[in-house]
Chain A
Amino acid sequence: MRIFNLLKISFKAIILNKVRTLLTMLGVIIGVASVIAMLAIGEGSKQSIKSQISNMGSNMITVMPYAERQAGVRLDRSEMQSLTLDDYKTLVSDAKLLTDVSPKVDGSGQVIYGAENWPSSIYGVTPNYLDIKVWDVTSGSMFTDDEVSSAAKVAVIGQTIVENIFTNGEDPIGKMIRFGNIPFKVIGVLSEKGENTFGQDQDDVVLAPYTTVQKRILAIDYLQSVVASAISEEQSENAVAEVKVIMNKAHNIKEGDTSDYEVRSMEELISTFSSTSEMLTVLLVAIASISLLIGGIGIMNIMYVSVKERTREIGLRLAVGAKGADILLQFLIEAILISITGGVIGVVLGLSTTFIIENVLHWPTSVTSSSIIISFGVCAITGIFFGFYPARKAAALDPITAMRYE
């Protein structure tokens, strides 16, 4: 009953001061809307990075020699050769948390067909490399394990290579190309993948049996890396641990020794990237929170002016029997009504802004319910917080002095 009456009084005051109320709300509206929109942008980019990395094979695990990574230090040949075919075989036979395992040796050079040539890379792998990378072949087929064993000169090429050397639109399947000096028969074309998160063209690649690349192109007998996929994304951390155990045993590395290899999982990459975009989100939220705070100060400012302006009214209300608490509640309700209404409008505006960003600017966005709850909550709390001080001031007024106030 009492609250109902006070609600009525507060509502009336808001209606009587439409323009002022609207201007006050503007701060809250912009604050809430920007929190929602900015969080949506942050969350959207985070998710898009995540899904792009996942597309690269989220369970992928890579084992590579450690020394190779130390830039600027003269590399020790023996260490560079620390990864061997035996390691690969041991991993295939011993690892239980890995599904597919493929050795990998990379070379770079010119891909030549007729008069056309194109600088590219060649990856020497086994057929299940496609499963690990979640790639597939659009035409022709992948080479077989037999072709790996026999070090056959066959290749599966990416779209970029097709476009750059088969310039007059011929079907590449069955054609002979050269990688450097070595002739390869094209037996398959990879489906288009586009750029990855790092801006690398994933279609600019030639796949060939690793044996062929080892012997004909690189003239080495060790491996540059071993790639594998964990049985599931959740298991990838455990798979990494398992690989380490197997490798330590194979390389005779004890606790505390520096190892001659390293293992990386996509999971780690994802978390690195996530934490970067997390920081971006935090930054965006910080900016948005400032506008929300300014909105709150706006409420305080208006409530303050409103209390001053209505001092005589407050005096009269006290004189006819309003208690301090009634006045306090009246102004508090007013502040809350303003901030909640502003909050609702802000949510609507934030969602529409997000919609526009998504559909007009084509930025990835993702609205989370928590962003709505948080921004709305913060706005309600600032409303109460910033409304409280002026309201308390009003409630403490003495009726006679208040009524005489000019």
Chain B
Amino acid sequence: MKNIAIQIEELKRDFKMGEEVVHALRGISFTIKEGEFVTIMGTSGSGKSTLLNTLGCLDQPSSGIYKIDNVPVKNLDKNQLAKIRNEKIGFIFQAYNLLPRTTALENVELPLLYNTKVSTEERRERAIEALTKVGLAERLNHTPSQLSGGQQQRVAIARSLVNNPVVLLADEATGNLDTRTSYEIMALFQELHDQGKTIVFVTHESDIASFSNRTIVLKDGNIIKDDINTKIRNAKEELAAIPKAD
């Protein structure tokens, strides 16, 4: 029996917009075990990002239970949430969100800068290790403007890996990339999954979802489907099938 990485129960998130209340999440429950690769799908506005932000402790639910690594995330103050983000979560954004004019290495080191337990040498070693994992060992000193979109997203993935998080959360991580590069990124995620990483991946392309082993579909803040994938595609093989553009 694998450990539970993420557990939510009756999670609700309401946004008050003056008089109106937007129910972004209307009481959803699920459990994600360690080592699962879950995609969250749904139409625009269905609440995917809201859910992921909550899972990433960037946002607090209006009600319900959320436990990460068996730690209940409720009534935690800002600093405690920051600590959880720093130690247990790796977040990957659609827009990469790298610091401009800052090298890949320094970008990846960033989360560890806020962890006082990590020394300067260890920080550097771990950042290099993470960048090597995503295949950018040769680009340590390149700044974002000197890297392609795919490479920038790899740097962002390396940054999310560097703190050895309980779970990797990716919000439309392939949203800005072409098909080939998206597949390359998915191949990387599958590789990380094979190494035992827990991944929650938000996308609205079913094509991308088919690389994961479980898909949760949201609609208007409710879960309408939660299926185990039987036909998991292999991104590396798919990639080989796509003719290289010349």
Which A residues form the contact surface with B (CB < 8 A)? 1-2, 5, 8-9, 12, 16, 312-313, 315-326, 399-400, 403
**Is there contact, CB below 8 Å, between B85 and A321?**
yes
Interface residues of B in 64-115 (CB under 8 A from A): 78-79, 82-83, 85-87, 91, 93, 97, 99, 101-102, 106, 110-111, 113-115
**Interchain CB contact (< 8 A) of B99 among A5, A316, A321, A403:** A316
Partner among A12, A321, A403 whose Cβ is within 8 Å of the Cβ of B86: A321
Q: How far is the CA of A318 from the CA of B106 in the complex (A)?
A: 16
In the complex, B116 has a CB within 8 A of chain A: yes
The contact sample of 28 A-B pairs, CB cut-off 8 A, is A1-B116, A9-B113, A12-B106, A16-B102, A316-B97, A318-B82, A319-B56, A319-B85, A319-B91, A319-B97, A320-B85, A320-B86, A320-B110, A320-B114, A320-B159, A321-B82, A321-B111, A321-B163, A322-B82, A322-B86, A322-B114, A324-B78, A324-B79, A324-B82, A326-B114, A400-B53, A400-B58, A403-B93
Closest 4 CB pairs of A and B: A321-B86, A320-B111, A323-B82, A321-B114
CB of B59 within 8 A of chain A?
yes
Known contacts A320-B91, A320-B159, A321-B87; A403 and B97 CB within 8 A of each other: yes
Within 8 A of A (CB), among B4-46: none
B96 to chain A, nearest CB (A): 10
Residues in chain B near residue A399, CB distance under 8 A: 58
Docked CA distance A315–B21 (Å): 25
The CA-CA distance from A403 to B115 in the complex, in Å, is 21
B101 lies within 8 A of A16 (CB)? yes
CB distance from A325 to the nearest CB of B (A): 8
Q: A5 CA to B119 CA in the complex, in Å?
A: 10
- CB-CB under 8 A from B53, the residues of chain A are 400
In contact, B79 and A323 (Cβ under 8 angstroms):
yes
Residues of B within 8 A of A403 (CB): 93, 97
Assembled-state Cα–Cα distance A12/B100 (Å)? 12
Partner of B114, one of A16, A323, A400: A323
- Closest chain-A Cβ to B58's Cβ sits at a distance in Å of 5
What's the least CB distance linking B146 to chain A, in Å?
15
A301 to B59, CA, bound (A): 31
Contact of A323 with B78 at beta-carbon distance under 8 Å, contacts A1-B116, A2-B116 already known: yes
Q: Nearest B residue to A322 by beta-carbon distance?
A: B114
Docked complex Cα distance between A320 and B81 (Å): 11
How many Å lie between the Cα of A325 and that of B77 in the bound state?
13
Chain A residues lying within 8 Å of B163, measured Cβ to Cβ, are 321
Q: Inside 8 A of B114's CB, which chain A residues have their CB?
A: 5, 317, 320-323, 326
Give the distance to chain B from A238, nearest Cβ to Cβ, in Å: 66
Q: Give B95 Cβ to nearest chain A Cβ, in Å.
A: 8
Q: Which residue of A lies closest to B78 (CB)?
A: A324
Which residues of chain A have C-beta atoms less than 8 A from B111's C-beta?
320-321
* CB neighbours of A316 from chain B (8 A): 97, 99, 110
Task: With both chains docked as a complex, state the minimum distance between the C-beta of A334 and any C-beta of chain B, in angstroms.
Answer: 15
Distance between Cα atoms of A403 and B93 in the complex (Å):
10
Which of B58, B85, B114 has the most CB atoms of chain A within a 10 A radius of its CB?
B114
Closest Cβ–Cβ distance, residue A398 to chain B (whole Å): 8
Q: Which residues of B contact A319 (CB under 8 A)?
A: 56, 58, 85, 91, 97
B113, A5: Cβ atoms under 8 Å? Answer: yes
Residue in A315, A317, A323 whose CB lies within 8 Å of B110 = A317
Check B110 against A400 for contact (C-beta < 8 Å).
Answer: no
Shortest distance from the beta carbon of A66 to any chain B beta carbon, whole Å: 78
Inter-chain contacts of B59 with A (CB < 8 A): 400
CA distance A282 to B53 in the complex (A): 58
Q: Are B99 and A313 in contact (CB under 8 A)?
A: yes
New contact pairs (17) apart from A322-B114, A399-B58, CB-CB < 8 Å = A2-B116, A5-B113, A8-B113, A16-B102, A317-B114, A319-B58, A319-B85, A319-B91, A320-B85, A320-B91, A320-B110, A320-B111, A320-B114, A321-B85, A321-B111, A323-B83, A323-B114
Q: For residues 124 through 145 of chain B, which have their beta carbon under 8 Å from a beta carbon of chain A?
A: none
Q: Which residue of B lies closest to A5 (CB)?
A: B113
Q: Across the interface, which residues of B come within 8 angstroms of A2, CB to CB?
A: 116
Asked if B97 contacts A321 (CB within 8 A), the reply is no
- Chain A residue contacts of B93, Cβ below 8 A: 403
Closest chain B residue to A9 by CB distance? B113
Note all chain B residues with C-beta closer than 8 A to A318: 82
Bound Cα distance from A399 to B89, whole angstroms? 14
Q: Determine the residue in chain A with the shortest Cβ distance to B50.
A: A400
Measured CB to CB, the closest approach of chain B to A293, in angstroms, equals 33
For the complex formed, measure the closest distance between the CB of A321 and the CB atoms of chain B, giving whole angstroms. Answer: 2
- Enumerate chain A residues within 8 angstroms of B56, measured Cβ to Cβ: 319
Q: Give Cα A326–Cα B163 distance, bound, in whole angstroms.
A: 18
Query: Once the chains are docked, how many angstroms separate the CA of A2 from the CA of B115?
Result: 8
In Å, the complex CA distance between A324 and B114 comes to 11
In the docked arrangement, what's the CA distance between A318 and B114, Å?
Answer: 10
Which of B59, B83, B99 gathers most chain A CB within 10 Å? B99
When distances are taken between beta carbons in the complex, the residues of chain B under 8 Å from A323 are: 78-79, 82-83, 114
The closest CB in chain B to the CB of A396 belongs to B78
Smallest distance from the beta carbon of B185 to chain A beta carbons, Å? Answer: 19
Q: When chains A and B are docked, how far (Å) is the Cα of A185 from the Cα of B78? A: 99
CA distance A130 to B87 in the complex (A): 88
Residues of A with C-beta under 8 A to B110: 316-317, 320
Nearest chain A CB to B16 CB, angstrom units: 15
CB distance from B118 to the nearest CB of A (A): 9
